[in-house]
Amino acid sequence: MKISIFKWFIFVLLISQSAISQTYIVKAKTLNVREETTKNSTVIGKLNENDTIKSISNEGDWIKIMISEKEGFVNKNYLEEIKPTEEIIKGGFKNGFKKVFGTTFIIILLILLGYRKMKGKVSDGRYSKGYKEYEISTKDYIIDGIYALIISSFIALIFGIIAWIKTF
């Protein structure tokens, strides 16, 4: 039970990290934010020219956004995407560290927990019938988490220094 909940947590974490919101600037004098993805839908808000917005998702010609704690849609034809500049991409140590830390932490944690699970198997055929020598305890999760934190911090530190050196 513990491992299946943990796998779902990791899955949700990976999905949330992979979702990249895009930033747009409004090009129309005023732009209606609508309740649904149709031009006849109820207007729930308005944006002005040169306002910047972050998308939640893209749905065809419509962009889903948050406005006044409500989700709404704006037509993509009245927006211009803002792409990050080269200076933002080259952010130095902090950017290099952040890019590597989360991914390496998750990968190392999965490797450690996978190893611990494999170590718990019984060498004869009893494992296939549900028998294990031991269950993974909370203490094991904490120990593996600390090891993954230390190892991923060290790897991210190296990549942060490399990114910082590249800025010169």
- Show me where the domains of the chain are located: 22-82, 86-166
Give the sheet arrangement for strand 30-34, strand by strand: 43-48, 30-34, 70-75, 62-67, 57-59
What was the pLDDT predicted at 16?
44
- Report residue 30 as tokens: 């005023």
CB 28 within 8 A of CB 49: yes
Instruction: Dump pLDDT digits (tens) for 105-142.
Output: 888 888 888 777 776 655 555 555 555 555 677 888 88
Inform me whether the pLDDT recorded for 69 exceeds 60.
yes
pTM summary value:
0.42
Overall CATH class of domain 22-82: mainly beta
Maximum mean pLDDT: which of 42-46, 83-87, 97-101: 42-46
Per-residue pLDDT for 147 more than 80? yes
